Chains A and B, each alone.
Chain A
Amino acid sequence: MMRHLVSAADLSRDDALLILDTAEELAQLSGRAVKKLPTLRGRTVVNLFFEDSTRTKTSFEVAEKRLSADVINFAAKGSSVAKGESLKDTALTLQAMGADAVVIRHHASGAPARLAQSDWLHGSVINAGDGTHEHPTQALLDAFTMRRHLNPGLGNDLAGRRITIVGDVLHSRVARSNVLLLQTLGAHVTFVAPPTLLPIGIKNWPCEVSYDLDAALAKTDALMMLRVQRERMNAAFFPTEREYSRRYGLHAGRLAKLPEHAIVMHPGPMVRGMEITAEVADSPRCTVVEQVANGVSIRMAVLYLLLGGAVFTDSPAEAARTETRTETNEAAQ
């Protein structure tokens, strides 16, 4: 297992399956009266959120607490970051406080990669969503959800399963992480979006691209609807909300065209009436709530594998932390 989780591309097939299988085991916990494991006792995990995010932050926090980690929430708003402190100084501060892992959500693509490559801090860096780049734990929880429905069982991948992802691919970190992880797990990905919301160069991505949602429905095992922000209209990505809904929204009529076994997914938060109607969002085929529950298991698995057990006793992170402690002691004397 590697030290950081910055991109879904960092995960080999074996890595990804190990995380999914570990999450499956950890999910058993949530059925118990006492949901806590002592694995990360004495380890400090910082949730460093430069962007508002209730659901992802809460999900990580629950996962950290179930593993008994010391959890510190470092929200950029109201902190020194709001007063102009740089990412570097924030990282140095967290390092000085002895963070074993930093879960970072940042509005700038690449900020977690910067942290992971810098010598600003030595702990593990977990990307909780960076700009329009990636959101690897979301892709993992999506794959976890798909596997449960489409190919259940430890050790199984998603070979041959057909995943259709619809919406604002251009601005979506969920789409980027998903296409990378789903390819690793053997699934076939089709993106459906108006051409304005697809990145230049997507023809070289490991996926198919279509502008026609109706044509893709019958060949879909899991349909993932991406959030479309209303402000995109103002930049002329599409003419009106109604036109978007008509062409790319999921309503009951389109739901009926999906194969019977197919599931409907959404990373949330949903914009009801835009990319998905309330009727579909509330239907039993929609896995949104399940995805949230699975998110906790996946994040526990990631933290467990990056930080837990004996895996890291001789790691650079451990060595660096010992070093820092020694320096601090000397300074105190």
Chain B
Amino acid sequence: MTSYLIRNAQLLGGPAQDIHIADGVIREIGTGLAIEADVDIDAHGLIALPGLVDLHTHLREPGREDAETVLTGTQAAAKGGYTAVHAMANTFPVADTAGVVEQVWRLGQASGYCDVQPVGAVTVGLEGKKLAELGAMHDSAAGVRVFSDDGKCVDDAVIMRRALEYVKAFDGVVAQHAQEPRLTEGAQMNEGQVSGELGLGGWPAVAEEAIIARDVLLAAHVGSRLHVCHVSTAGSVELIRWAKAKGWDVTAEVTPHHLLLTDELVRSYDPVYKVNPPLRTAEDVHALREALADGTIDAVATDHAPHPAEDKDCEWAAAAMGMVGLETALSVVQQAMVETGLLNWEGVADRMSHRPARIGRLSGHGRPVSVGEPANLVLFDPAYRGTVNPDSFATRSRNTPYRGLDLPGRVHATFLRGAATVLAGELVEPGELA
């Protein structure tokens, strides 16, 4: 296996140090290391972070390989600095059986760019009626611990209660897509000033908050672990803050786009801004940033949602919801959180690696960057300034809201258990250097 000596990297943004990687682990950390390695990397000015962990990725395979495959999705993940992603269950067929989650897991193993941890559906076919075989998915080779009907809300209170209770047997967690279905029939964008003017069906904040309020109470009642997907409103933040203050086992994630963009962008009627939950107001963005900074929101999760061109190259109402996000997440977080002084790089490592790994119970990821640990690492250049060009993406889809936008920073290198998946910003084929 290729060994690396990374010289003068700023560990979690701290003083420059050398990191020696060999045989998949971090061998040594220090200044001026005199070690022979196969590859020397001058990391002057680069930040070293633990490999990022995404709790919320749509890899689309099986079923929508025109939008993304496990291979292209994990390549995008590697380019974004990720070493593990949680693949959401809304595939065709739905990942609601041991067979499908094992298939996705094996495709991830075969890719080699990034670990793929499948998420299992909570209910059969995401229909919210009947529990899927959660235990079988957990006992499968995929070892599922995160269950979600993402894209749809588990809106039946009894089904939600049972799911929360049932997964306790194997330390599972239910990741809820909080969206009250009746309040969001025909919803096209955030309900507020802009939706009223544009004549687009509103997606009110209360539809998210009502479900979160119910779910934290349910989780408290049955003593279970709840994770809230893509929190998007200031009111949701208050509810989660309250639940955490009660000592309840509730965690939450926010997407990069909800940390940066607002519903004012919808005025263009360009469906690249159509996403679920929708872009909210500047007040919501502010509250989400504060909540991520103070830890009320535990993690940044991309909700990477690739769609083929024809699903966005149309009128707003006909367009699919979702944005790709793996390859821009760290840059967006730098802009929204680091350059605003809300988080330092240690905080970024916590919200994008340590905590998401802990929520997903991934033992090999989100580890400290220290000697003896698996060498899952990112080298990130925060000084880089560039314009987002979707043509350079590894993802199969191009539905990014950041096209043409100047975002800071870029991933220089990613290491998955000591093997480079990205070097000098370019993908490295697995085994190429081994």
Q: Which residues of A contact B (CB under 8 A)?
A: 86-88, 106-111, 113-114, 117, 130-134, 173, 176, 199-202, 204-205
Q: Is B199's CB under 8 angstroms from A133's CB?
A: yes
Pick the residue among B197, B202, B270, B315 that contacts A108 (CB under 8 A): B315
Q: Is A200's CB under 8 angstroms from B196's CB?
A: yes
Given contacts A113-B269, A117-B268, A201-B192, contact A133 B318 (CB under 8 A): no
Going nearest first, the 7 A-B pairs with the smallest beta carbon separation are A110-B269, A199-B196, A133-B199, A132-B199, A201-B193, A108-B317, A201-B196
Q: Is A110's CB under 8 angstroms from B198's CB?
A: yes
> Given known contacts A114-B316, A204-B193, what 20 new A-B pairs fall within 8 Å (CB)?
A86-B310, A86-B314, A86-B318, A106-B315, A108-B315, A109-B188, A109-B199, A109-B200, A110-B269, A110-B315, A110-B317, A113-B269, A131-B317, A133-B199, A173-B199, A176-B197, A199-B196, A200-B196, A201-B196, A202-B196
A-B contact count (CB 8 A): 75
Q: Is B314's CB under 8 angstroms from A88's CB?
A: yes
Q: Is B318's CB under 8 angstroms from A108's CB?
A: yes
Q: Is B192's CB under 8 angstroms from A200's CB?
A: yes
8 A-B residue pairings within 8 Å (CB atoms): A87-B315, A106-B315, A108-B318, A109-B317, A111-B315, A133-B200, A176-B197, A200-B191
Q: Is B199's CB under 8 angstroms from A200's CB?
A: no
Given contacts A114-B316, A200-B192, contact A109 B198 (CB under 8 A): yes
Q: How many chain-B residues does the 8 Å CB contact rule pick out?
A: 23
Please name all residues of chain A whose beta carbon is closer than 8 Å to the beta carbon of B318 when the two chains form the complex: 86-87, 108
Q: Give the nearest-CB partner of B196 in chain A.
A: A199
Verify if B409 is at the interface (C-beta below 8 Å from A): no
Q: Give the nearest-CB partner of A203 in chain B.
A: B193
A201 to B205, CA, bound (A): 13
Question: Shortest beta-carbon distance, A74 to chain B, in Å?
Answer: 16
Q: Is A114's CB under 8 angstroms from B315's CB?
A: yes
A111 to B314, CA, bound (A): 8
Verify if B418 is at the interface (C-beta below 8 Å from A): no
Q: Is A201's CB under 8 angstroms from B197's CB?
A: yes
A88 to B313, CA, bound (A): 7
A107 to B200, CA, bound (A): 11
Verify if B401 is at the interface (C-beta below 8 Å from A): no
Q: Is B199's CB under 8 angstroms from A114's CB?
A: no
Please name all residues of chain B whose beta carbon is closer than 8 Å to the beta carbon of A110 when the two chains form the complex: 198, 200, 269, 315-317
Q: Mark B299-327, 1 if CB is under 8 A from A, else 0.
A: 00000000000100111111000000000
Given contacts A108-B318, A109-B316, contact A133 B196 (CB under 8 A): no
Verify if B204 is at the interface (C-beta below 8 Å from A): yes
Q: Give the nearest-CB partner of A116 in chain B.
A: B269
Those of B196-246 within 8 Å (CB) of chain A: 196-200, 202, 204
Name, among B193, B196, B317, the residue most crowded by chain A CB atoms within 10 Å (CB to CB): B196
Please name all residues of chain A whose beta carbon is closer than 8 Å to the beta carbon of B195 when the two chains form the complex: 199-201
Please name all residues of chain B whose beta carbon is closer than 8 Å to the beta carbon of A205 when the two chains form the complex: 196-197
A175 to B310, CA, bound (A): 32
Please name all residues of chain A whose beta carbon is closer than 8 Å to the beta carbon of B192 when the two chains form the complex: 200-201
A117 to B272, CA, bound (A): 14
Please name all residues of chain A whose beta carbon is closer than 8 Å to the beta carbon of B315 when the two chains form the complex: 87, 106, 108, 110-111, 114
Name, among B198, B202, B310, the residue most crowded by chain A CB atoms within 10 Å (CB to CB): B198
A201 to B192, CA, bound (A): 5
Please name all residues of chain B whose beta carbon is closer than 8 Å to the beta carbon of A111 when the two chains form the complex: 269, 315-316
Question: Shortest beta-carbon distance, B180 to chain A, in Å?
Answer: 16
Please name all residues of chain B whose beta carbon is closer than 8 Å to the beta carbon of A204 when the two chains form the complex: 193
Q: Is B196's CB under 8 angstroms from A117's CB?
A: no
Name, among A130, A201, A204, the residue most crowded by chain B CB atoms within 10 Å (CB to CB): A201
Q: Is B269's CB under 8 angstroms from A114's CB?
A: yes
Please name all residues of chain B whose beta carbon is closer than 8 Å to the beta carbon of A117 when the two chains form the complex: 268-270
A200 to B189, CA, bound (A): 13
Q: Is B314's CB under 8 angstroms from A200's CB?
A: no
Pick the residue among B194, B199, B202, B268 that contacts A176 (CB under 8 A): B199
Q: Is B204's CB under 8 angstroms from A200's CB?
A: yes
Please name all residues of chain A whose beta carbon is closer than 8 Å to the beta carbon of B193 when the two chains form the complex: 200-201, 204
Please name all residues of chain A whose beta carbon is closer than 8 Å to the beta carbon of B197 when the two chains form the complex: 176, 201, 205
Q: Give the nearest-CB partner of B271 in chain A.
A: A114
Please name all residues of chain B whose beta carbon is closer than 8 Å to the beta carbon of A201 when the two chains form the complex: 192-197
Question: Shortest beta-carbon distance, B212 to chain A, in Å?
Answer: 20
Name, among B310, B315, B316, the residue most crowded by chain A CB atoms within 10 Å (CB to CB): B315
A86 to B193, CA, bound (A): 30
Please name all residues of chain A whose beta carbon is closer than 8 Å to the beta carbon of B199 when the two chains form the complex: 109, 130-134, 173, 176
Those of B155-183 within 8 Å (CB) of chain A: none
Please name all residues of chain B whose beta carbon is closer than 8 Å to the beta carbon of A114 when the two chains form the complex: 269-270, 314-316
A111 to B268, CA, bound (A): 11
Please name all residues of chain B whose beta carbon is closer than 8 Å to the beta carbon of A108 when the two chains form the complex: 315-318
Please name all residues of chain A whose beta carbon is closer than 8 Å to the beta carbon of B314 when the two chains form the complex: 86-88, 114
Question: Shortest beta-carbon distance, B33 to chain A, in Å?
Answer: 55
Q: Give the nearest-CB partner of B310 in chain A.
A: A86
A250 to B313, CA, bound (A): 44
A108 to B193, CA, bound (A): 19
